Amino acid sequence: ARYFGLIPAAGIGARMGSAIPKQYVNIAGQPMLVHALAAFAQTPMIAHTFVVVSPDDGYVDGALAASALAGRVDLSVLRVGGATRQDSVLHGLRAMREQVGDDDWVLVHDAARPGLDGELIERLIAALKGDEVGGLLALPVVDTLKRADAGQGVAETVPRERLWAAQTPQMFSYGLLRRALEQATDVTDEASAIEALGLVPKLVEGSTRNFKVTLPQDVALAELHLKGQA
Ligand code: C5P
C-alpha cells in the first residue's frame, strides 16, 4: 500500500478575523498551508499530496509559486472545496480516485496545523502499519473539563480520564474512508465517520506543537514552535 497526503484548505477561518483566509496567513515567513505541505513533501514515504482549495481560491498559486515547494511534481491542487470540512475532504477523495487504490492509505491533515513535521507523520504511519482500521494523532486532555448549561454556568464536570483531543493527520485506507464519509452526516473529523461504521480508530500520541491555529493570538505561538523557541 502507498501513502498519500490530503490537505483540506478550503475554509474561511472566520475566527481568525483576518482579511485573507487563515491557511494563507503568514507564519515564520511562509503561508500556513505551505508549512503543512512541506511536512508531507519532506517525508519520503508519502507518494503524493493533494490539496483541496475552494473553486474560487485566488491565493494558492501565488503561495506555492513563492515557496520552496514551487515546481514539485508530487503535489496536486484540487479546486473542489465544499461548504464544510467534511465536504472538502470527500470531494478531494472523489477527485483523487484515478491515482489512488482502495487499499492505499490517506493521511488527512488540516492546513491550519502548521506545526506538523516528518517525525509526526512517520510516527503515525509506524504505529498504524498493518492496522485493520487506521487512526489519528491525538493528545491526552490535561485540563479539567466543564460542560456549560444554557447560560455560562457549569452544568457538570466531565471526567477527563481517557479523554484525548483529536489532531490530524488522520490515516485510513482510501476505500474505507470514502465509504465512511459518503455515509456520515455532520462530522468534524475523519475518525468520527469511521466510528459511525462501528469501527475503532487507534489513538497515536501527537504533539502540542501540532495545535490548530484558530485565533489571531495563535499565530505568535505557532511562530515560536516553528522557530524552535517554544
Ligand atoms: O475551520 P477549521 O479550523 O476547523 O478548519 C480545519 C481545516 O478544514 C482547515 O484546514 C480548513 O481550511 C479546512 N476546511 C475546508 N473546507 C471547509 C471548511 C474548512 O477545507 N468548508
23: which DSSP letter?
G
Nearest to 110 by CA among 42, 163, 166: 166
What is the pLDDT confidence band of residue 154, given thresholds at 50, 70 and 90?
very high
Whether 70 shows a pLDDT value over 80: the answer reads no
C-beta 118 within 6 A of ligand 1: no
pLDDT at 228: 84
In Å, how far are 15, 40, 94, 206, 215 from 50, measured between CA atoms? 25, 10, 12, 22, 26
pTM: 0.96
The grid coordinates listed for 71 are 515546481
Which domains are present in the chain?
Answer: 3-226 (3.90.550.10)
Rounded mean pLDDT, 48-57: 96
C-beta 114 within 6 A of ligand 1: no
C-beta 59 within 6 A of ligand 1: no
- Residue whose CA is closest, atom 21 of ligand 1? 84
Mutate to test the pocket of ligand 1, among 88, 107, 212 (most ligand atoms within 8 A of CB): 88
Whether 1 shows a pLDDT value over 80: the answer reads yes
What is the pLDDT confidence band of residue 14, given thresholds at 50, 70 and 90?
confident
Rounded mean pLDDT, 68-95: 92
Residue 189 burial (C-beta neighbours within 10 Å; 0-12, 13-18, 19+): buried
**What is the whole-number distance in angstroms between the Cα of residue 227 and the centre of ligand 1?**
25
Residues 6+ apart with CB under 8 A from 165: 138, 139, 140, 141
| Residue range 113-149, pLDDT digits in tens | 999 999 999 999 999 999 999 999 999 999 999 999 9
Residue 175 burial (C-beta neighbours within 10 Å; 0-12, 13-18, 19+): middle
